[in-house]
């Protein structure tokens, strides 16, 4: 089911200095872009903005589910872990796709379901508010 949601959601592109192969699921460029997505998601809401100074996040259990060599596209999954002082970390499973693009915005893009990122931040904010 998540696969269908993945293809129906927002994409972001990242500028890269050189053309080449699409970065893999756990490549630094891919993780940097996913980190930017998390940061943007924090800033989209007041509770996220309030939570951000106290929160740390990281991606764990990064897995390549599939690599289509004909299109150099990776279908990936990872666990987004958000830690906030004094509460048990929130873990949200994510699926995303890394694929090549050929335009002025960059060499690759990440397709993802923004609701997964929103859910993780919402859960962390709720846990923090209940912990007080």
| Residue-level pLDDT at 20 | 65
Q: How many CB atoms lie within 10 A of CB 54?
A: 14
DSSP 52-95: GGGEEEEEEEEEEEEEETTTTEEEEEEEEEEEETTSPPEEEEEE
15 or 47, greater pLDDT? 47
Q: How many CB atoms lie within 10 A of CB 11?
A: 12
Q: Tell me, rounded to whole angstroms, the distance of Cα 125 from its chain centroid.
A: 18
Instruction: Provide the edge-to-edge strand list for the sheet that holds 90-103.
Output: 11-14, 106-112, 90-103, 73-84, 55-68
Q: Domain spans of the chain?
A: 2-13+22-131
- pLDDT surpasses 80 at 5: no
Stretch among 19-23, 74-78, 110-114 having the lowest mean pLDDT: 19-23
Stretch among 27-31, 55-59, 83-87, 113-117 having the lowest mean pLDDT: 83-87
CA 5, CA 62: separation in Å to the nearest integer? Answer: 19
**Does the domain spanning 2-13+22-131 belong to CATH 1.10.1060?**
no
Rg of the Cα atoms in the chain: 15
Tokens of 21: 């192969």
- pLDDT surpasses 50 at 8: no
Average pLDDT of the residues in 51-73: 96
């Amino acid at each position: 089911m998540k696969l269908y949601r993945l293809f129906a959601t927002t994409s972001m592109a990242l500028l890269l200095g050189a053309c080449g192969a699409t970065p893999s699921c756990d490549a630094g460029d891919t993780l940097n872009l996913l980190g930017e997505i998390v940061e943007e998601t924090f800033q989209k809401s007041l509770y996220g903005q309030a939570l951000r100074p106290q929160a740390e996040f990281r991606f764990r259990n990064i897995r390549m589910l599939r690599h289509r060599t004909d299109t150099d596209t990776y279908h990936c999954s990872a666990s987004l872990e958000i830690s906030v002082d004094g509460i048990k970390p929130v873990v949200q499973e994510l699926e995303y796709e890394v694929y090549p693009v050929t335009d002025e915005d960059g060499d690759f893009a990440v397709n993802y379901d923004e609701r997964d990122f929103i859910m993780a931040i919402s859960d962390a904010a709720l846990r923090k508010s209940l912990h007080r």
